[in-house]
């Protein structure tokens, strides 16, 4: 059975994403776009998950599926913030 979700996850890539989020540039970009600093919780959760379950393809596919569903429910953009700022 094939699925559209990946069965592998790179912990190095997850760590790089976490580091980029915590960087000055990452925080500045988030503040500019959304009006607040980023706690980097999504990146931290991905890194933790990868460390604990990075070799289990079933759990990795489930994690990606859950993330896709979460993103679909909470879809938004920086345009939402700019509309609020104009009001």
**Distance separating alpha carbons of residues 82 and 78, to the nearest angstrom:** 7
3-state secondary structure of 29: helix
Q: pTM to 2 decimals?
A: 0.76
Burial 62-74 (b: 16+ CB within 10 A, else e): ebbeeeeeeeeee
Domain edges within the chain: 11-86
> Comparing C-alpha atoms, which of 2, 1, 5 is closest to residue 62?
5
pLDDT per position as a tens digit, 11-68: 999 999 999 999 999 999 999 888 899 999 999 999 999 999 999 999 999 999 999 8
Alpha-helical runs (H) found in the chain? 11-22, 24-34, 41-53, 57-73, 78-86
Instruction: Tell me phi and psi for residue 84, to 5 degrees.
Output: -65, -40
């Amino acid at each position: 059975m094939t699925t559209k979700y990946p069965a592998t996850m790179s912990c190095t890539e997850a760590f790089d994403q976490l580091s980029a989020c915590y960087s000055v540039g990452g925080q500045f970009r988030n503040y500019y776009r959304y009006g607040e600093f980023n706690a980097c919780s999504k990146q931290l959760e991905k890194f933790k998950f990868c460390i604990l379950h990075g070799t289990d393809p079933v759990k990795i596919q489930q994690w990606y599926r859950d993330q896709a569903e979460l993103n679909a429910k909470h879809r938004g953009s920086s345009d939402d913030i700019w509309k609020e700022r104009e009001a």
